[in-house]
Amino acid sequence: MDKTLKFVALIPARYASTRFPGKPLAVLGGKPVIERVYEQVASVIPTVAVATDDERIASAVEGFGGRAIMTSPNHKSGTDRCYEAYTKLGEEYDVVINVQGDEPFIAASQLSSIMSCFDDPKVDIATLVKPFAEQDGLAALENPNSPKVVLDKESRAIYFSRSVIPYLRGVERSEWLSKHTFYKHIGMYAFRSDALRQITALPQSPLELAESLEQLRWLENGYKIGVGITNIETVGIDTPEDLERAERFLIEKNK
């Protein structure tokens, strides 16, 4: 990993989630979800801040000794919220890592993997993927809520899709997972600071509108997306049911 680069991690956290209002403040193993995310990230990256539009979240973060940055409630994406927070840091960084505020089990190895993508000077943006396993089954592969990614030989993203890509011609669908390595996108990003400034000014693109995936806007505009590969399954929290699953996962993990 390039030790000369300065990294900062920003965690966008909104209170008004449609499926789970107040999610960042939901308690997981005795601590708010946002505190668990913060702790995981701070163990690898010294400079961390939560980007939020809600005073309750900001107060909770400051309560456990973290840094919170207030941002506009009108942002359409976590990327836009990250950029506003970055402009308020008062210091320049080479790379901004955008960590989802609902990933309390993000692993040190995943953060290191995404940071290592910037060893390639041509990479503007980085993200993570996980290979689909044969035991995941065809339903998981075909799930449109789980975007797929195709990589080039330099481990850069060629395309993201809600469809299964590539299509294996002449192979029974039931055999696809045994015949090819498909990659599942894990929605964590890092940006060179110049690239982050530029992409937040881009209009939505045709491919982005077609698939409802903002990373296609970046590809369409020529940005190079480096990809780190992880074998760790993340346990994201989108609903109260996910929180119960995360609680069970935490108990198992601490046994």
pLDDT in tens, the chain (255 residues): 777 999 999 999 988 877 888 999 999 999 999 999 999 999 999 999 999 999 999 999 999 999 999 999 998 888 999 999 999 998 999 999 999 888 899 999 999 999 999 999 999 999 999 999 999 999 999 999 899 999 999 999 999 999 999 999 999 999 999 999 999 999 899 999 999 999 999 999 999 999 999 999 999 999 999 999 999 977 788 889 999 999 998 888 887
Q: Do 42 and 106 contact (CB within 8 A), yes or no?
A: no
Fold match between domain 1-104 and domain 107-233: yes
pLDDT at 255: 77
- Residue 84's nearest CA partner among 52, 55, 111 is 52
pLDDT at 214: 93
pLDDT at 97: 97
Beta carbons within 8 Å of 242's beta carbon, 6+ residues apart: 20, 235, 236
Cα(60)–Cα(13) distance, integer angstroms: 12
Tokens of 171: 């192979």
Domain ranges for the chain: 1-104, 107-233
Q: Tell me the residue type at 179.
A: K
- Residue 8's nearest CA partner among 102, 103, 118 is 118
Beta carbons within 8 Å of 250's beta carbon, 6+ residues apart: 28, 29, 105
CATH of 1-104, one of 3.30.870.10, 3.40.50.2000, 3.90.550.10, 3.60.15.10: 3.90.550.10
Q: Do 176 and 182 contact (CB within 8 A), yes or no?
A: yes
pLDDT at 17: 78
Q: Does domain 107-233 have CATH number 3.90.550.10?
A: yes
Cα(242)–Cα(238) distance, integer angstroms: 6
